[in-house]
Chains A and B, each alone.
Chain A
């Protein structure tokens, strides 16, 4: 056996041309068609090798997701290899590259097995110590362990880190733990079992199972997945398509990227199950072009799945055919909208169209098409393998299962967090996220990206599920959670999101094209100190019109950040308009810089860094800023060692 996926001996006849229906079960429990202790043993050896290091061996798992590569995991791996080779230890240590652990801020992340020791921010300079101390002397390198924010306590093993201990990882279960470029590791972790079960079921039964699980789409709107599949399955037509929406456009969310990079086969398996249930034989994954690594990992996964007969014709001897293609996006947020995405695959400008007809009836090249998000598909194999009841016991009344959130902004632990639906925002931000950075007070959390809303402190105990968030004016959306502290200005945040949606508006319909522009003008004026009486009312009216009369979800939800900040932080708008003051101290046009006479010792540092030379004063005397010439760059404040420059 070359690896877990290859034939064990000449008696195994599985190949894409001569598929064996027991191929998947046979990998883990086989051999099933013949009796051989040797063949059984070699399977076990491969599985063991994947799950734990052999006796006396060590396994180093290095994160090779986008985040950790940015922090230097590639040179780290090379350095480790040279160092181990130089010391003659190379054959005693397995080095494995994994996908993202969702804790990118702590990267590069290195895990040592056995023991699950979790090292963070590991640099090439640390390699010597890890080899010398941990690998040779079996002593942990304390310096590199993760420390809990707050208590500063070092944590020895991965599962004990609060950030992970409080999560429920289903979709992210394999991310960071298996090598995403080896299909064998996926299969050893129960991969493709869901497909095996689905293929043994009637198509209608698979759909029924999905409906019973209560899974709702993770891409934004939260439509019941089983129901969507049923529509497509029942739509008249021979040719049908399965499409995966991997356009992940919400700035601040990166769960789809992590799943594609860390566990690409889970998405492929989910799509295969959907194809079987719906009766489709062809599929597309539309990946945003900013994710080159995700595209590369998907290409590898697809070619391996083909090689072992899990994609192509007559899959596992059941007569089921499915071919999968990758389409790289070309940079347009609106292409995340399903009808825009489909027309983009067809080679057109990605503009949304009126629905109905829905893609389930008339989609890609006018054929019935089922389109789901990456995370939605990645849930499917688990539901098939472990059953709808198991899935439905997690979550709340109408929101079942778990959801991945991208926790970012001014929070201590930034990263991907998978929790059962219904946990409170407080638990996510303070227990898992470790609270706000630098002990500052919490101000707001923006949830759901440009379509979502900003929620204040008083909403922290809100359970996070589809319906509660919508009622509060926000939405689950893609699951971006951006935490803000007192230094973030709510008017500026509303302006920021609107400038994003305004830029990305495709221009097809007037309310969105013109309405967002007018709203942006008003908000920009406010942040520049030119807010006028009546602006808030004008914003509210415009927001309502854009929301009610835009053609697609982009326009319909673009006003949400404005409406929620108006609802929960109206006083900040008023301060900008009436007092020309930014309470957060973020809108630079509304600030003044001043030197406090009682603190300044006249060190001259500020005068030397001021780019417009507007600070005067003799050495050892109090300095003065000429506020008429000051461009409010903040350089003086950053430089002053005596905290003598104040910003108001």
Chain B
């Protein structure tokens, strides 16, 4: 006898299961599309097309609208992203104190452009306008850690901490 646990239905991955849970939790709450997409992105790391389709179907919102919302806000991503997200601040305070030099150095070091991911999926590089740590300008944020008072020389050491 075959001892797999297949029930004849396509198996749901752990992530898909969490998405179903999420949709069940929110189905009836008004104005819930953005939080649902935010949490779905937490689960998958980005928003694959199938997830958008599923969200649209389950919340009974046209797919075109879901896609419209996803492409309006800079936080939503349609492509897979790196394990570590680097956000370089190019806000005013950081600009005046050389944020662009930091950005250029990172572009060079990682050989990617704004919004791109390294081929080994280790880093995604993004620019943002102000992360509220202007007193420490220039500033970058890697995942949830903020690094301030930067110089291009300090970057290699900081990047090494993220695998």
Contacts and interface: CB of A to CB of B under 8 A. Distances in A.
Interface string B123-160: 00000111111111101000011111100000000000
Contacts of A482: 92-93, 96
- Which of B137, B145, B147 is packed against the most chain A CB atoms within 10 Å? B137
A569 interface: no
Interface string A507-522: 0000000000000000
A289 interface: yes
Interface string A442-482: 00001001000000000000000000000000000000101
B155 to A, nearest CB: 15
Contacts of B34: 327, 330, 344, 347
Nearest to A290: B131
Contact of B136 (A70, A349, A446, A480): A70
A390 interface: no
A61 interface: no
Interface string B9-24: 0000000000000000
B95 interface: yes
Contacts of B130: 249-254, 290
B147 A70 contact: yes
B68 interface: yes
A569 to B, nearest CB: 15
A237 B93 CA distance: 44
B38 interface: yes
Interface string A232-260: 00000000000000001111111001000
A406 interface: yes
A648 to B, nearest CB: 20
Interface stretch (A9-17, A407-415, A548-556): A407-415
Contacts of A349: 68-69, 72
Contacts of B97: 409-410
B145 A70 contact: yes
A105 B145 CA distance: 16
Query: Quick one: which of A66, A70, A328, A346 has the most chain B CB within 10 A?
Result: A70
A332 B133 contact: no
Contacts of A488: 96
B96 A103 contact: no
A97 B139 CA distance: 23
A104 B146 contact: no
B148 A70 contact: yes
Contacts, number: 136
B92 A480 contact: yes
A500 B30 CA distance: 32
A647 to B, nearest CB: 14
Contacts of B149: 71, 105
Interface in A282-321: 289-292
Contacts of A249: 129-130
A305 B131 CA distance: 28
Interface in A565-617: none
A251 B135 contact: no
Interface in B30-67: 30-35, 37-38, 65
A331 B95 CA distance: 20
A140 B33 CA distance: 55
Contacts of B139: 70
Nearest to A106: B135
A146 interface: no
Contacts of B147: 70
B125 to A, nearest CB: 16
B75 interface: yes
A559 interface: no
A69 interface: yes
A406 B35 contact: no
A452 to B, nearest CB: 10
B38 to A, nearest CB: 7
Contacts of A350: 72-73
A504 to B, nearest CB: 8
A251 B148 contact: no
A496 B92 contact: yes
B34 to A, nearest CB: 5
B132 A257 contact: yes
B113 to A, nearest CB: 15
30 contacts: A66-B132, A67-B136, A67-B148, A69-B146, A70-B139, A71-B148, A103-B135, A104-B134, A105-B136, A249-B130, A251-B90, A251-B94, A254-B134, A330-B34, A330-B37, A331-B76, A332-B72, A345-B31, A346-B31, A348-B65, A349-B69, A406-B93, A406-B134, A410-B97, A414-B134, A414-B137, A480-B92, A482-B93, A488-B96, A496-B95
Given A289-B75, A345-B31, A415-B135, 6 more contacts: A67-B136, A103-B135, A107-B136, A251-B93, A408-B135, A497-B92
Interface of A: 66-67, 69-71, 103-105, 107, 248-254, 257, 289-292, 327-333, 344-350, 365, 406, 408-410, 414-415, 446, 449, 480, 482, 484, 488, 496-497, 500, 506
What are the 6 A-B residue pairs with the smallest beta carbon separation, nearest first? A251-B91, A104-B135, A70-B146, A330-B73, A251-B130, A252-B92
